[in-house]
Amino acid sequence: MRRLPRRRLTMAVAIGGLFAALAQPTASAAPAPLTDPAKARALATEFGQDRSGGVYYDKAGQLVVAVTDEAAAREVRAEGGVAKVVKHSAATLNSVRATLDRRIADVDPIPNTSWGVDPSTNTVTVDIFDAATTADEKRLMRLVTRYGDAVRVNRLPGKIDATAYETLGGIGIESTDVAAGRYSACTLGFNVRDASGQKYFVTAGHCADSPSFQWWDREAGSIYLGKRIWYDYGGIEKDYAVMEYRGENLAAYGAVRAAGVDYEITDSRYPNDGESVKRAGAVTSDLVGAVLSPSETVTFSDGTLLKNMIKTSNCSHQGDSGGPLWAGTDALGVLSGTNTPQSEPCNSAQGQYRSWFQPVHWVLAHHGLHAF
């Protein structure tokens, strides 16, 4: 066999290696995670109701697109999404719900019942409360049992009362230490909930810094709300209290109220320096303000030192403590302190006053809670 000169052999190997490298498939970059619920819903819509089961957040906080076949699941993953293959399509579940509406709700509604499509369980969830009569429950069950595991039935205590007392951010709350003759009047900051759906509300820690300030009422009407579960005041990033809702016939809304207007709250985050913010309270509200510092160290007149607080140009008064600070639909903080004199009016024209807020996102992350 004729030998190739070393130089030609080396060149041939190099060229062969080059062709081999060129022949290798290029690694494609992983898609960006799909975190926008609007985009996830748009993707589910592309599959159509027969191949989609809806969009939801799982207990880990991940945005999930439910689909009915593996091919659709691969498409979701290719878009950076989390996919779950489910048994029942959105078309099937919506048909079941429509039947319940048509056969019962529209002709002979059953008090103390509710139903709706729940993508997270891939069912139509039917809730039957204790106050529903036995005859009505049997009538409903005769209809839902024909759909098998496409329907999930929950039996729950109590009754559905249209006159439930509403509770939301910005309303007055109070607690009384009868033995010591002490009274605390503050403002509800935000309604929040844990992964299981249990609802709580957040306010300022200095409102609840007495062992006796555990049970809280709505100021208007002295309606019992719930019990203090966690609180802290005086530590770094710590002027907060979290109360668990335990009262009856309460409607806790994911909103805040200021000057007679309700503002929807859907999430929480840390503030951005310079952004426009609104503040609400049981005594005053200031809807024109800005973040002057997203992480402020402040020492109150009694010597209390707080760090990592939010400083804004909003004014506020005593009794507004614990009230909500928000931007758009995002919860930002609960009111801790102010330099606004009680004798001075509080409105957006008062540019010389400041308010400091506990970052609420830290509180929620620390206790596994979410604004809604």
Tokens of 22: 């060129």
Q: Give the SS3 label for residue 225.
A: strand
Q: Is 239 a catalytic residue?
A: yes
- Given the residues 316, 321, 336, 355, select the one marked as catalytic: 321
The helix (run of H) or strand (run of E) holding residue 314 is none
Please give the single-letter amino acid code of residue 106.
D
> What's phi and psi for 131, nearest 5 deg?
-75, -10
Packing angle of the helix pair 134-144, 90-100 (nearest 10 deg): 150
Q: Is 321 a catalytic residue?
A: yes
In sequence order, the 6+-apart residues with CB closer than 8 A to the CB of 103 are: 143
For residue 363, which of 231, 252, 175 has the smallest C-alpha distance? 231
Q: Which residues contact 142 (CB under 8 A, 6 or more apart)?
A: none
- Distance (Å, rounded) from C-alpha 201 to C-alpha 193? 8
> Of 136, 232, 239, 330, which residue is the catalytic one?
239
Q: Where are the alpha helices (DSSP H) in the chain?
A: 6-23, 37-47, 70-78, 90-100, 134-144, 360-367
Specify the long-range contacts of residues 53-62, CB closer than 8 Å, at least 24 apart.
Answer: 53/84, 53/86, 53/88, 53/89, 53/90, 53/93, 53/119, 53/122, 54/90, 54/93, 54/117, 54/119, 55/119, 56/119, 56/120, 57/120, 58/82, 58/120, 59/195, 61/370
Task: Specify whether 206 is catalytic.
Answer: yes
Catalytic residue among 52, 89, 136, 206: 206
Q: What angle do CA 5, 6, 12 make, to 5 degrees?
A: 90
Active site residues: 206, 239, 321
